[in-house]
Structure formats: structure tokens, C-alpha cells
Amino acid sequence: MSILIKDNGEGIAKKDLKNITNPFFTTKAKGTGLGLVVCKQVLMLHSGSLTIKSVEGKGTTVAVTLPIHKKEMHKKILIIDDDSGVCNSLAMLLRGEGYSVDATTDSGEGVVLIEKDRYDVYLFDIR
């Protein structure tokens, strides 16, 4: 299964693109340079991948790919994302693949769901 995330922002400079998955590399004043490193490692541990393509002045495309093993399919997923478009689209996509999904854009509600139920997979993106 692949999830593509595209934007039409300023893109990533070529000199930066080759380094963005290196530990501690950041172009942000308050960044740690660990976000994409952790994402890439988690995906690799699950036989997945993270691919980033970008053109300066045109935008960036991120592909998150994970294998689907029907016999080992996780049954229950919780999504907490402050972007309702991302949250709802991802939930709909995963439900279409046969997963049971709870999704919320509210971190407080997410905590209540975590305390109330057990999930096989947790997907978070909250600012």
C-alpha cells in the first residue's frame, strides 16, 4: 500500500534534498532533524519505504509505502491528525483496505480513545 502526499509549495533545494533523511539535518530554526529519520526507520522496520521527490518552486511529493500482508493485517488503527483532510482521507483509505479505524483531529479525544481501547497501530501528527 502506498500513500502519496503532494504539495505545491516552494519545494526543497537540491542541496538539502540529499540530506533530509540524515540525522540532525534541518533547515528550521527550531527543528531537531529527527522527524524524517524516525519515519524512515519505522517504515524500514516494517519492510516499507519513504521516498521524497521535490522540485524547487513547484512542490514536493512524499510516498509512504508499506506491504500489506493479509494474514498479518493489523485489525485496529487509531489516527490522530490535526488536519481534517489528511485524517479523513487516510481513514477512508484504510477502511477501504479492510482495517478498523478510529480517527480524530482532537488530541484530547485521541487520549480518551487510547485509554478506552487497544489499537494495533497508532498514527499521530499533531502540532
Domain boundaries defined on the chain: 2-65, 70-125
Is pLDDT of 71 > 70? Answer: no
CB 94 within 8 A of CB 119: no
52-89 burial by CB neighbour count: b if 16+ within 10 A, else e? eebeeeeebebebeeeeeeeeeeeebbbbbeeeebbee
pLDDT band at 11 (very low <50, low <70, confident <90, very high): very high
Q: Which CATH class is domain 70-125?
A: alpha beta
| Amino acid, res. 24 | F
pLDDT digits (tens, 9 = 90+) for 14-69: 999 999 888 898 888 888 888 888 888 888 888 889 999 999 999 999 999 988 76
CATH architecture, domain 2-65: 2-Layer Sandwich (3.30)
CB 49 within 8 A of CB 41: no
pLDDT digits (tens, 9 = 90+) for 74-120: 689 999 998 898 899 999 988 888 889 999 999 899 999 999 999 98
Query: How buried is 49 (Cβ within 10 angstroms: 0-12 exposed, 13-18 middle, 19+ buried)?
Result: middle
Is pTM beyond 0.75? Reply is no
